[in-house]
Amino acid sequence: MANPTTNYSFAMPTNTDLVKDLPADFEVFGQAVDTTIKALNPETTLGDISYRSSTANTNTRLALGTAGQVLTVNSGATAPEWATPSSGGMTLISTTTMSGGSITLSSIPSTYVHLQLVITNYLPATDGTNLVMRFNSDSNARYKDGTSTTNNSQAFNATSIDLFAYQDSAASNGLMITDIYDYTNTTTWKFCSTQVIWNNNTTPANSDMYRIFGMYNQTGAISSITLLPSTGNFSSGSVKLYGVK
Residue 112 CB partners (closer than 8 Å, separation 6+): 91, 183, 184, 243, 244, 245
Question: Dihedral of CA 214/220/221/224: which sign?
Answer: negative
- Continuous segment of H or E residues that includes residue 23: helix 22-40
Answer for the pair 245, 91: CB distance below 8 angstroms, yes or no.
Answer: yes
Query: What's the CA angle centered on 93, arms 88 and 97, to 5 degrees?
Result: 145
Nearer to another protein, 218 or 233 (CB): 233
Minimum CB separation of residue 232 from another protein in Å reads 7
- Subset of residues 49 to 78 that bind another protein, contact rule: CB under 8 A: none
Part in contact with another protein (CB under 8 A); list of ranges 22-30, 38-46, 126-134, 189-197: 126-134
Query: Per CB under 8 A, which of residues 225..244 are in contact with another protein?
Result: 228-233, 241
- From 104, 154, 188, 195, residue interacting with another protein (rule: CB under 8 A): 104
Pattern 132-161, another protein, x by CB under 8 A:
x------x-------------------xx-
Contact pick of 4, 30, 80, 101 for another protein (by CB under 8 A): 101
Contact 103, 95 (CB under 8 A): no
Question: Residue 93, interface with another protein (CB under 8 A)?
Answer: yes
- 200 interacts with another protein by CB under 8 A: no
Q: Sign of the CA dihedral 33, 35, 40, 46?
A: positive
**Residues that bind another protein in the complex, under the rule CB under 8 A:** 93-94, 96, 99-109, 128-130, 132, 139, 159-160, 165-166, 228-233, 241
